[in-house]
């Protein structure tokens, strides 16, 4: 006899069916949960992608320096809206060129500009400071994006307020006193900090090389610089320009006269001049009469440095200027004078 299976499901079949149903529902719920979560996950991912990491933030802040709000050395607050394209910085043209920037206009004493820079600035319009503060109308016509004044005197008697109406204006107390610091500041204001650091390094390397070459003649030796102009003869101290180069970069000691604060040179003071080397700087040949008077005097001929042939003359304006280009040329002159 053949037995037939009953069509009614057994208890085992019921159990398996129930488990399958539960499993299917779980899978469906999980899928639904996943689908529900997708928009939230997508939103979080988008936010993460659009929010820079800490390192990316730092990069962005470095690259986007403007608008830049700073205080100058006199306490004025100024905002530079964008990287300056046209800069007016009278007497600081040397430093601008060291950073690869040509000014909108260049300083002039009313007779000539800074001659040693004319190979780079020959086509740049001149503005005369012969009578003090120049014409603000002329400055306005040049439409500078930024004005930089090299010392506090340039901002006196209402000048700062007039400059500031033309463009954001930054004032140094004395840019030539600490050239490294002022060049770094220029680099920050103009968005070329890397070029500023390179300029500092290039000059430091040049000065160190020259100091090593001159060590045998400079160490323990004293030097004095006498400047001649239409008003007379004057000692230059070691705080700025070529005086700074000799004392701080090349290792010469200042004459005791200069250390003690002597400024004007007279025949009466010459016998006290204790310099081993003397450098004569004739300002644009304006001091020809005083230079001749000095050379013709018996007192001068008895100065030890004169007797030993350690007197050197120049009329080049870079001896009376500040900036790495000028100071580099002074270094070249001193090396040439003392190592012919």
For residue 17, what pLDDT band results from cuts at 50, 70 and 90? very low
Q: Return phi, psi of residue 144, to 5°.
A: -70, 150
* Pair 311, 276: CB distance under 8 Å: no
Sign (positive or negative) of CA dihedral 337, 98, 193, 320: positive
In the numeric block, the tokens 């680099």 are attached to 187
**If we measure between CA atoms, which residue out of 248, 83, 65, 96 comes closest to residue 182?**
96
- Torsion of the alpha carbons at 85, 89, 93 and 99, rounded to the nearest 10: -50
The per-residue pLDDT for 232 is 96
Give the whole-angstrom CA distance, residue 305 versus residue 303: 6
pLDDT of residue 42 exceeding 60, the answer is no
Residue 194 has pLDDT above 90, yes or no: yes
Domains of the chain with bracketed CATH: 68-191 (3.40.50.1980), 207-338 (3.40.50.1980)
- pLDDT of residue 81 exceeding 80, the answer is yes
**Cα–chain center distance at 209:** 22
Residues 20-49, mean pLDDT to the nearest whole number: 37
d(CA 168, CA 67): 12
Q: List pLDDT tens digits, range 23-37.
A: 333 433 344 443 333
* Better pLDDT: 299 or 1: 299
For residue 39, what pLDDT is reported? 36
**Cα 271 from chain centroid (whole Å):** 41
232 vs 54, more confident: 232
- pLDDT top residue among 148 and 285: 148
Q: Which of 1-10, 153-162, 238-247 has the lowest mean pLDDT?
A: 1-10
């Amino acid at each position: 006899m053949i037995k037939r299976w009953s069509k009614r499901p057994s208890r085992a079949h019921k159990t398996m069916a129930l488990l399958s149903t539960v499993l299917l529902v779980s899978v469906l719920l999980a899928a639904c949960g996943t689908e529900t979560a997708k928009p939230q996950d997508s939103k979080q991912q988008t936010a993460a992608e659009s929010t820079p990491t800490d390192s990316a933030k730092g990069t962005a802040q470095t690259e986007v320096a403007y608008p830049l709000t700073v205080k100058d050395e006199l306490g004025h607050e100024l905002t530079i809206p964008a990287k300056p394209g046209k800069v007016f910085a009278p007497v600081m043209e040397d430093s601008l060129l060291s950073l690869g920037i040509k000014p909108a206009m260049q300083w002039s004493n009313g007779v000539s500009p800074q001659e040693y820079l004319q190979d780079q600035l020959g086509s740049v319009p001149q503005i005369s400071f012969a009578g003090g503060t120049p014409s603000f109308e002329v400055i306005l016509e040049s439409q500078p994006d930024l004005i930089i004044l090299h010392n506090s005197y340039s901002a006196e008697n209402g000048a700062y307020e007039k400059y500031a109406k033309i463009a954001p204006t930054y004032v140094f107390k004395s840019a030539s006193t600490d050239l490294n610091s002022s060049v770094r500041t220029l680099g920050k204001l103009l968005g070329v900090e890397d070029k500023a650091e390179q300029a500092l390094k290039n000059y430091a390397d040049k000065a160190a090389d020259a100091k090593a070459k001159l060590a045998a003649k400079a160490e323990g030796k004293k030097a004095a610089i006498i400047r001649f102009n239409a008003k007379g003869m004057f000692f230059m101290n070691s705080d700025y320009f070529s005086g700074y180069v000799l004392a701080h970069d090349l290792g010469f000691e200042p004459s005791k006269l200069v250390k003690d604060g002597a400024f004007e040179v007279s025949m009466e003071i010459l016998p006290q001049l204790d310099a081993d080397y003397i450098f004569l700087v004739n300002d644009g040949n304006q001091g020809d009469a005083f230079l001749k008077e000095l050379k013709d005097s018996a007192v001068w001929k008895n100065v030890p440095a004169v007797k030993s042939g350690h007197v050197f003359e120049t009329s080049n304006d870079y001896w009376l200027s500040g900036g790495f280009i000028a100071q580099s040329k002074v270094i070249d002159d001193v090396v040439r004078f003392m190592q012919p």
